[in-house]
Homo-oligomer: A and B are copies of this chain.
Amino acid sequence: MTGQERRAQVLAVAEQEFAVAGLHGVSTETIAHRAGITQAYVFRLFGTKKQLFLACVDAAFERMTLAMLGAGGASGLEALTAMGREYDAMLADRTTLLLQLQGTTAAAAGDPEVRDAVRASFGRLWQAVADTAGLDPVAIKAFLAFGMLLNTGAALELAEVDEGWARQARTRIQPGLFNHITTETNQ
């Protein structure tokens, strides 16, 4: 296997592990074993555990950002509707959603390297949504806020909770909502 192929494979394994367990919740040994290599080689490929973690988080935000940019073409509300569909499709990809969450919480630890990297990723995502939709800042903010709630839902596995509040957390929001937000906040 070439270096690039191996790197991609290790990254894929690491993403799954970090997504559920977080930076300190899984060992490099576990990741290496699942990838079928020795732990020492993981360090050869990625330098430090933190760098591997950040590569995973970055990839997750990048996937989400590209999905949002890919929903462009149409403008304004239509673009937001398309992005909503994209975000909804992302619900199936639990790893991506959880990595955003894990990156965000890891950023709270105060390590500037982690914090700055996650900030930058989040900023790019925000900017992508804002540029693609071109709507009122409040509508963009609302859109991303619902995104954060979906991430929470993924972590708590609300899909399998049969209670009133959990069902309400699951209901798809109507795209028209953001149109009303835009209209009302600009009146």
Contacts and interface: CB of A to CB of B under 8 A. Distances in A.
A122 interface: yes
A46 interface: no
Contact of A137 (B23, B108, B149, B171): B171
A25 interface: yes
Task: Specify the main secondary structure of chain A where it touches its partner.
Answer: helix
A169 interface: yes
Contacts of A75: none
B141 A169 contact: yes
Interface residues of A, number: 58
B105 A156 contact: no
Contact of A115 (B144, B157, B184): B157
Interface stretch (A30-38, A83-91, A160-168): A160-168
